[in-house]
Chain A
Amino acid sequence: MQLAIIDSGGANIASLRYAIDRLGVASELTTDPERIRAASHVILPGVGAAADCMGRLQKIPGLVDTIRKLRQPMLGICVGMQLLFESSEEGEVPCLGLLPGRVRRFADRDDLPVPHMGWNQLEFEPGSPLLQDIQPGDHVYFVHSYSAPVSPLTVATSTYGEQFSALVQSGNVFGAQFHPERSARIGALLLRNFLQLQQTH
């Protein structure tokens, strides 16, 4: 296995790498399209604003195109997941377009502060390989102000005022809105499940 973590900038990359280390898996942090193409698994992390993140990816020649054409299992985390969609309300930015749909901001409500920050439960019907050994109702850790609506690609939801996509899947492309690297045992299971996926072609 050869895991490439795309260096999208942002403070959570250290935490993610430590989480991967704890699974006993080596990872390479890179923006080199060639290294990313050569990997067996790719993770696209992201924190901060979608537009900033997208901007950083676009600055590297060939990187966006490489990500769009990957056939190996790829997991977007948090803003990295949001970038997989066509566009985000945050900064009105066009994203990678690997998944149909648009990422929206949580409605501002007096009783529910935005960002949605903290532990929340996953709701799902079992079936996704990423959810093996994870139970509906298990808690994972979220920090986000934007989210993808529930769609046919949704394999797990969470609820914060409204239901949103906590985990999406389409072919080789996966996205987790929560932070598996900060989600204790359940997060480690999800990363393990992802790393056990086989290339689909």
Chain B
Amino acid sequence: MRFRDHVVVGDILELAQRYRDEGADELVFYDITASPDGRTVDRSWIRRIARILDIPFCVAGGIRSVADAEEVLGEGAEKVSINSPALADPELISRLSARFGAQCVVVGIDSQTVDGAYQVYQFTGDPERTRNTARKTLDWVREVQERGAGEIVLNCMASDGVRKGYDIAQLSAVRALCRVPLIASGGAGAKEHFASVFNEAHVDGALAASVFHTGALPIPDLKTYLRDTHIEVRP
């Protein structure tokens, strides 16, 4: 789940613990303090999370170098997720993968349909800087795997925040050429959306934020529902 809204660390700790207790399988923290201008950021919050959390967690945002990733992983995160910096410097994926292993390296991709093709967007964290990279999503999915990405989070921008369901068509297209775990992102609004994305797009995981943050869909209810529809989930 994404912590994109600005919340203070104390709240993050409490939220993280709550989601862990409710049965979340993994948490993703989007570090919004990681400014796009590359100034040094305080990452001590990661250690505070690592001390209380006994499920895997991933940190996204502000990781532009092997040294950045080393710091994040050393503080106790399981994985790092890179998005815009990978687009600016695709070789970064290879360097991270060689240094830490593919299992640590998640590549996030923001994508939407433009002129009938899926295209990759950059800097989506800042509406004023968001731009179409002119890269085709399917080509980028192939490339990041060749470069050693161990997992792909595909955020379908048109569905994101709308809560009308994941973009099954786009996720299925990516699934067809994705051999590493594929995580669906963008669009979760109801428990049925999770069932369809697992059954129809065959993703390995589903990421959601607002539907959990608002309490609209409690994780235990979601898991019970998925189990009842014969989708294997951890209790």
Contacts and interface: CB of A to CB of B under 8 A. Distances in A.
Contacts of B180: 113
A174 interface: no
Q: Using C-beta atoms within 8 Å of the partner chain, give the interface range for chain B.
A: 20 to 34
B16 to A, nearest CB: 13
Q: Using C-beta atoms within 8 Å of the partner chain, give the interface range for chain A.
A: 20 to 34
Contacts of A143: 78, 103
B20 interface: yes
Contacts of A188: 54
Interface stretch (B68-76, B108-116, B134-142): B68-76
A1 B50 CA distance: 24
B143 interface: no
A21 interface: yes
Contacts of B25: 118-119
B100 to A, nearest CB: 7
A76 interface: no
A104 to B, nearest CB: 18
Given A110-B179, A117-B151, A11 B103 contact: no
B204 A18 contact: no
B74 A117 contact: no
Given A48-B101, A184-B20, A15 B76 contact: yes
A187 interface: yes
B102 interface: yes
Interface in A125-151: 139, 141, 143
Contacts of A19: 54
Contacts of A21: 51
Given A119-B25, A139-B235, A18 B56 contact: no
B150 interface: yes
A139 B24 CA distance: 13
A185 B100 CA distance: 27
Interface of A: 11, 14-15, 18-19, 21-22, 47-48, 110, 113, 115, 117-119, 139, 141, 143, 181-185, 187-188
Given A22-B51, A47-B101, A184-B54, 11 more contacts: A14-B47, A48-B101, A110-B179, A113-B179, A113-B181, A117-B181, A118-B204, A119-B234, A143-B78, A143-B103, A181-B54
Interface of B: 20, 25, 47, 50-52, 54-56, 73-76, 78, 100-104, 150-151, 179-181, 204-205, 234-235
30 contacts: A11-B74, A11-B100, A11-B104, A14-B47, A14-B50, A14-B75, A15-B50, A15-B76, A18-B50, A18-B51, A19-B54, A21-B51, A22-B51, A47-B101, A113-B179, A113-B180, A113-B181, A115-B102, A115-B103, A117-B150, A118-B25, A139-B235, A141-B56, A143-B78, A143-B103, A182-B55, A183-B55, A184-B20, A185-B54, A188-B54
